[in-house]
Protein backbone atom coordinates (compact mmCIF):
# COMPACT_ATOMS: atom_id res chain seq x y z
CA UNK A 1 0.00 0.00 0.00
CA UNK A 2 1.62 3.22 -1.20
CA UNK A 3 1.42 5.66 1.71
CA UNK A 4 3.17 8.45 -0.18
CA UNK A 5 2.13 9.06 -3.77
CA UNK A 6 3.38 11.22 -6.58
CA UNK A 7 0.72 10.88 -9.25
CA UNK A 8 2.63 12.62 -12.02
CA UNK A 9 5.51 10.46 -13.25
CA UNK A 10 6.84 13.29 -15.39
CA UNK A 11 6.57 17.03 -15.89
CA UNK A 12 7.98 19.32 -18.57
CA UNK A 13 8.40 23.04 -17.91
CA UNK A 14 10.02 25.87 -19.84
CA UNK A 15 13.06 27.56 -18.41
CA UNK A 16 12.09 30.57 -16.30
CA UNK A 17 8.60 29.28 -15.55
CA UNK A 18 7.31 27.78 -12.33
CA UNK A 19 7.56 24.04 -11.73
CA UNK A 20 5.00 22.54 -9.35
CA UNK A 21 5.52 19.00 -8.13
CA UNK A 22 2.81 17.36 -6.08
CA UNK A 23 2.74 14.69 -3.42
CA UNK A 24 -0.13 13.10 -1.50
CA UNK A 25 0.02 10.95 1.59
CA UNK A 26 -2.50 8.74 3.31
CA UNK A 27 -1.15 8.36 6.85
CA UNK A 28 -2.13 11.30 9.05
CA UNK A 29 0.56 10.31 11.54
CA UNK A 30 3.29 11.59 9.23
CA UNK A 31 4.59 14.84 10.69
CA UNK A 32 7.78 15.63 8.81
CA UNK A 33 8.16 15.87 5.05
CA UNK A 34 11.17 16.18 2.78
CA UNK A 35 11.97 16.58 -0.90
CA UNK A 36 14.97 14.96 -2.51
CA UNK A 37 16.43 15.49 -5.95
CA UNK A 38 18.13 12.72 -7.91
CA UNK A 39 20.32 12.95 -10.98
CA UNK A 40 21.06 9.81 -13.03
CA UNK A 41 23.84 7.64 -11.60
CA UNK A 42 23.84 9.61 -8.35
CA UNK A 43 22.15 9.13 -5.01
CA UNK A 44 19.27 11.42 -4.02
CA UNK A 45 20.25 14.65 -2.30
CA UNK A 46 18.23 16.58 0.25
CA UNK A 47 16.46 19.65 -1.10
CA UNK A 48 14.03 21.07 1.44
CA UNK A 49 11.86 19.93 4.33
CA UNK A 50 8.81 21.00 6.31
CA UNK A 51 7.42 20.12 9.68
CA UNK A 52 3.70 19.57 10.13
CA UNK A 53 3.53 22.61 12.43
CA UNK A 54 4.19 24.80 9.40
CA UNK A 55 2.37 25.21 6.11
CA UNK A 56 5.19 26.75 4.10
CA UNK A 57 8.96 26.68 3.98
CA UNK A 58 11.19 28.57 1.56
CA UNK A 59 14.79 28.16 0.53
CA UNK A 60 15.86 30.33 -2.36
CA UNK A 61 14.03 29.24 -5.51
CA UNK A 62 12.40 26.31 -3.71
CA UNK A 63 9.22 26.50 -1.63
CA UNK A 64 7.35 23.61 -0.09
CA UNK A 65 3.68 23.96 0.85
CA UNK A 66 1.86 21.61 3.20
CA UNK A 67 -1.91 21.21 3.39
CA UNK A 68 -2.51 18.86 6.30
CA UNK A 69 -6.27 18.68 5.91
CA UNK A 70 -5.85 17.52 2.32
CA UNK A 71 -2.77 15.40 3.14
CA UNK A 72 -1.01 17.12 0.28
CA UNK A 73 2.31 18.81 -0.21
CA UNK A 74 3.80 20.54 -3.19
CA UNK A 75 7.22 21.77 -4.24
CA UNK A 76 7.44 25.00 -6.22
CA UNK A 77 10.56 25.90 -8.15
CA UNK A 78 10.71 29.49 -9.37
CA UNK A 79 12.25 30.22 -11.78
CA UNK A 80 12.97 26.79 -13.22
CA UNK A 81 16.45 26.24 -14.64
CA UNK A 82 17.81 23.50 -16.93
CA UNK A 83 19.95 22.21 -14.04
CA UNK A 84 16.74 21.44 -12.16
CA UNK A 85 16.03 18.59 -14.58
CA UNK A 86 16.08 15.52 -12.35
CA UNK A 87 13.81 13.07 -10.57
CA UNK A 88 12.19 14.51 -7.45
CA UNK A 89 11.07 12.31 -4.57
CA UNK A 90 8.93 13.40 -1.69
CA UNK A 91 9.35 11.56 1.61
CA UNK A 92 7.57 11.47 4.95
CA UNK A 93 8.38 10.35 8.45
CA UNK A 94 7.00 10.00 11.97
CA UNK A 95 8.96 11.94 14.56
CA UNK A 96 10.36 9.46 17.03
CA UNK A 97 10.95 6.69 14.53
CA UNK A 98 14.58 7.65 14.09
CA UNK A 99 13.93 9.42 10.83
CA UNK A 100 12.81 6.33 8.90
CA UNK A 101 11.50 7.76 5.66
CA UNK A 102 8.74 6.59 3.37
CA UNK A 103 9.31 7.75 -0.19
CA UNK A 104 6.99 8.50 -3.06
CA UNK A 105 7.38 7.09 -6.54
CA UNK A 106 9.14 10.14 -7.96
CA UNK A 107 8.43 12.76 -10.63
CA UNK A 108 10.84 13.33 -13.49
CA UNK A 109 11.14 17.06 -14.17
CA UNK A 110 12.42 18.22 -17.54
CA UNK A 111 13.20 21.93 -17.85
CA UNK A 112 13.38 22.90 -21.50
CA UNK A 113 15.08 25.89 -23.07
Partner 1 sequence: DVKVTQSSRYLVKRTGEKVFLECVQDMDHENMFWYRQDPGLGLRLIYFSYDVKMKEKGDIPEGYSVSREKKERFSLILESASTNQTSMYLCASSLPQGPHGYTFGSGTRLTVV
Q: Which residues bind partner 1 (CB under 8 A)?
A: 4, 6, 9, 34, 36, 41-46, 49, 89, 91, 93, 95, 98-106
Question: What DSSP state is assigned to residue 83?
Answer: G
Minimal distance in Å, beta carbon 19 to partner 1? 19
* CB nearer partner 1, residue 15 or residue 22: 22
Minimal distance in Å, beta carbon 91 to partner 1? 7
* CB nearer partner 1, residue 24 or residue 106: 106
Question: What DSSP state is assigned to residue 31?
Answer: -
* CB nearer partner 1, residue 34 or residue 111: 34
- How far apart, in whole angstroms, are the C-alpha atoms of residue 25 and residue 38? 21
If residue 49 lies in a helix (H) or strand (E), which one and from where to where? strand 45-51
Give buried/exposed letters for 81-99 (b at 16+ CB in 10 A, else e): eeebbbbbbbbbbeeeeee
CA distances from 104 to 6, 60, 82 (A): 6, 24, 23
Minimal distance in Å, beta carbon 106 to partner 1? 5
* CB nearer partner 1, residue 4 or residue 66: 4
Minimal distance in Å, beta carbon 12 to partner 1? 18
Amino acid sequence: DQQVKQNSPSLSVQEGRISILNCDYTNSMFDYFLWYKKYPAEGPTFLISISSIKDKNEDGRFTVFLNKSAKHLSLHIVPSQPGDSAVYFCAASFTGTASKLTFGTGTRLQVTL
